[in-house]
């Protein structure tokens, strides 16, 4: 089985030998691939919708893996039993939905050591949830596929005592080599690791996002309402700051 570059990147973050739950698994491509490669011994493929659930069951059965991949219908982490898995992947949804699934499934997370999350939008919401809930962002990847940009966030459970010092340092305001200060809110937005070693996809993604933001600011400019003008000014400031940071990063490029 050949995975997309996006799913391959997610697969590469799943520790070998772990028991995985892939929530919102659709065709169960990720668990089937990982078991077939001998990377993991066991997986749960969770799906809320009947179509993808049937597709997952079919895929697993055709691969002859029904004995080690449990396909279950359920909302979010309802598809998993407490203590059943070490790793959870949730990919291809908005950040708000990923956060909702994690929040609703808190009781199922106790034995889980690794989360691999790939929000299509709202990555900052996911980073905030991780920080607030004792998870340490351990790695980030940003890739482009078919003209779309994807961020893959890998988180590890924080030290036993819930010590979040590492996380606090990760998002502490930092000075770039070119002398620009990057605030915490922007680190949550851009990614604390991604900003350290930005690749071409990073620049392309943010150029595209800034164009969208500028379009929104322009639309707001057509409104007579005072609150729209206030929001527009805030957005223009945000755009200016991000442009400054991106220009600075490009200057710092080796």
Residue of the chain from 46, 95, 119, 191 that contacts ligand SAM (CB under 6 A): 46
- What is the size of the binding site for ligand SAM (CB under 6 A)? 17
- For ligand SAM, the closer CB: 81 or 185: 81
Q: Exposed/middle/buried for 1, CB within 10 Å: 0-12, 13-18, 19+?
A: exposed
CA 237 to chain centre: 26
CB of 32: closest distance to ligand SAM in angstroms? 12
CA 160 to chain centre: 23
Residue of the chain from 11, 13, 14, 24 that contacts ligand SAM (CB under 6 A): 24
Residue 23 contacts ligand SAM per CB under 6 A: yes
- For ligand SAM, the closer CB: 60 or 170: 60
Residue 26 contacts ligand SAM per CB under 6 A: yes
Residue 28 contacts ligand SAM per CB under 6 A: no
Measure the CA–CA gap between 119 and 129, rounded to whole angstroms.
13
Measure the CA–CA gap between 45 and 28, rounded to whole angstroms.
6
Residue of the chain from 31, 52, 119, 198 that contacts ligand SAM (CB under 6 A): 52
Residue 91 contacts ligand SAM per CB under 6 A: yes
Furthest-apart CA pair in the chain: how many Å?
63
Residue 95 contacts ligand SAM per CB under 6 A: no
CB of 74: closest distance to ligand SAM in angstroms? 7
- For ligand SAM, the closer CB: 55 or 190: 55
Nearest CA to 123 among 144, 137, 104?
A: 137
- For ligand SAM, the closer CB: 105 or 192: 105
Residue of the chain from 31, 92, 95, 105 that contacts ligand SAM (CB under 6 A): 92
Residue 47 contacts ligand SAM per CB under 6 A: yes
Measure the CA–CA gap between 159 and 246, rounded to whole angstroms.
33
Measure the CA–CA gap between 153 and 189, rounded to whole angstroms.
13
* Residues 209-238 as x/- pattern, contact with ligand SAM by CB under 6 A: ------------------------------
> Who contacts 90 (Cβ-Cβ below 8 Å, separation ≥6)?
22, 23, 24, 98, 101, 102, 115, 116, 117, 118
> DSSP string of 133-201?
TTEEEEEEEEEEETTEEEEEEEEEEPPTT---HHHHHHTS-EE-TTS-EE-HHHHHHH-TTTTTS--HH
CB of 193: closest distance to ligand SAM in angstroms? 21
Applying CB under 6 A, the residues found at the interface with ligand SAM are 7, 23-26, 46-49, 52, 75-76, 91-93, 97, 101
């Amino acid at each position: 089985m050949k995975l997309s570059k996006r799913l391959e990147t997610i697969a590469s973050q799943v520790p070998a030998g772990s028991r995985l739950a892939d929530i919102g698994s659709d065709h169960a491509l990720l668990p089937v691939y990982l078991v077939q490669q001998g990377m993991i011994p066991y997986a749960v493929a969770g799906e809320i919708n009947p179509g993808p659930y049937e597709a997952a069951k079919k895929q697993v059965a055709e691969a002859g893996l029904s004995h080690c991949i449990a396909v279950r219908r359920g909302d979010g982490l309802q598809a998993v039993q407490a203590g059943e898995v070490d790793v959870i992947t949730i990919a291809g949804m908005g950040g708000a939905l990923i956060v909702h699934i994690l929040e609703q499934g808190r009781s199922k997370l106790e034995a889980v050591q690794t989360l691999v999350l790939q929000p299509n939008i709202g990555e900052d919401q996911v980073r905030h949830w991780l920080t607030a809930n004792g998870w340490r962002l351990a790695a980030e990847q940003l890739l482009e596929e078919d003209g779309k940009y994807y961020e893959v966030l890998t988180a590890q459970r924080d030290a036993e005592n819930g010590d979040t010092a590492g996380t606090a340092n990760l998002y502490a305001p930092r000075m770039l080599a070119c002398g620009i200060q990057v605030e915490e809110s922007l680190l949550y937005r851009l990614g604390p690791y991604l900003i350290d070693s930005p690749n071409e996809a990073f620049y392309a993604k943010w150029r595209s996002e800034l164009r969208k933001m500028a379009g929104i600011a322009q639309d707001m400019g057509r409104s007579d309402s005072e609150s729209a003008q206030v929001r527009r000014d805030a957005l223009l400031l945000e755009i200016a700051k991000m442009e400054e940071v991106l220009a600075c990063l490009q200057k710092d490029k080796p």
